[in-house]
Structure 1
Amino acid sequence: MTTMKTMKHRLLLLALAGCAILLAGCASDGSDNKGPAPEPARVKTLSVEGLSDDQWVYISLETGNKVGTSPLGDAAQDAAWKARTDWDIALCGELVRTNGGTSGNGQGAIQQIPNKSFNALDQAPADGYTTDTDDIVIRR
């Protein structure tokens, strides 16, 4: 059974991952464009059903939908999901993977910001993001 604290942590993680994915798509071309300021990003709450400790649940932050699942430790399924670009973040128990690094061909990354409330952030940090590697397991 998911507690309220666990759900808040999951939502915070999803929001931070969404910010990370949005930032990963931004690049500076060196121009000094002083056009109109962009609209502030909207924070959305996403509830995901069917989370478990023995299967990955792949989620698209663009659509807010669960894209699919795969068994934990299934190398063939991991390879198939790595090739896909229709997901942004995957959850399995306390494990998190992003569609970037060794887990996917996207540009996803994640960041934990200690000692600061998510609600206190004015904007997503410019650097300090972690991509998935074989040596790093991200835990919620």
Structure 2
Amino acid sequence: MKKAVYFMAATAVLLALSSCSKEQGNDGGEGGNVLEASVNASESGVWQYFSFAEGKVVGSGKEDETDNAAWAARTDWDIAINRYSIRTNSGEASSTGAKGGVYTFDSTVTFDSVAEVPAGATFSTDKAVTSEGMGGTTTTVKSEATVILFKTDAEGNKVMPPVYLQAPVYLFRSADGNHCYKVLFTQYQDENKESGHVIFSFAEVK
């Protein structure tokens, strides 16, 4: 199997074509073939809800009480993306007791090397996160996973203008808790440098 090497940077120029997935034609390890999905999550404040089993976005919802409650009651999605933020169907993002979540691999782990769920892997669930911004204080239920990482200075502050770094490989658990998918985010910006045009590779692992 050819090793695919991915690089995430602010100058990424690959084009996100649609909210669907396609086979890449290589083996995904113990679980199956590697698929590639593209999701247009560029609209701020709007979540795109994705099903790994369907391999596509199954709907979208605004970041508000009504839409959040509606999607929390559904079990047909596994992750949701809003710009660089990620939500899983778990914890405070679910009102049904959905069993989603995320396990984050060490930065040295490659996508191709993940062939099974690590023994003793602990999956983190979604929580309400409060942050300060130009618009004031906001509280959002989301995962600890992100599409990209930000380069920071010695004091831990984001450098400006922002420099995007590749996020580690993630292992997402499906809403029903019966499946796990390794995921590598390979694009955050399109060829026009518009953020939120996300591309990722994924494959089921046992």
Structure 2 residue aligned with 1:71:
62
Q: Higher mean Cα deviation, 98-107 or 76-85?
A: 98-107
Please point out which of 40, 45, 65 is paired with 1:54.
45
Q: Deviations over 1:92-140 (max 9, x none)?
A: 0111011111112321111211221121122122412111122464223
Structure with more helix by fraction: 1
Q: Does 1:97 align with 2:91?
A: no
Q: Which runs of 4+ in 1 moved over 2 A?
A: 1-5, 135-140
Structure with more strand by fraction: 2
TM-score, with structure 1 as normaliser: 0.65
Structure 1 residue aligned with 2:137:
none
TM-score, with structure 2 as normaliser: 0.46
Unpaired segments ≥5 residues, structure 1? 8-38
Q: Does 1:82 align with 2:76?
A: no
Q: Spell out the pairing of 1:121-140 with structure 2 (5 A cutoff).
A: 121-126=114-119, 127-135=121-129, 137-138=143-144, 139-140=146-147
Unpaired segments ≥5 residues, structure 2? 1-9, 17-28, 130-141, 148-206
Q: Spell out the pairing of 1:111-126 with structure 2 (5 A cutoff).
A: 111-114=103-106, 115-126=108-119
What is the CA–CA distance in structure 2 between the aligned matches of 1:99 and 1:2, rounded to whole Å?
A: 31
Aligned CA RMSD, in angstroms, stands at 2.5
Aligned residue identity for 2:110:
S
Aligned residue identity for 2:93:
S
| Higher RCO by CA contacts (8 Å cutoff, separation 6 or greater) | 2
Give the drift of 1:57: 0.1
User: What is the total number of aligned residue pairs between the two structures?
Assistant: 106
Answer whether contact 2:31 2:115 (CA < 8 A) is retained.
no
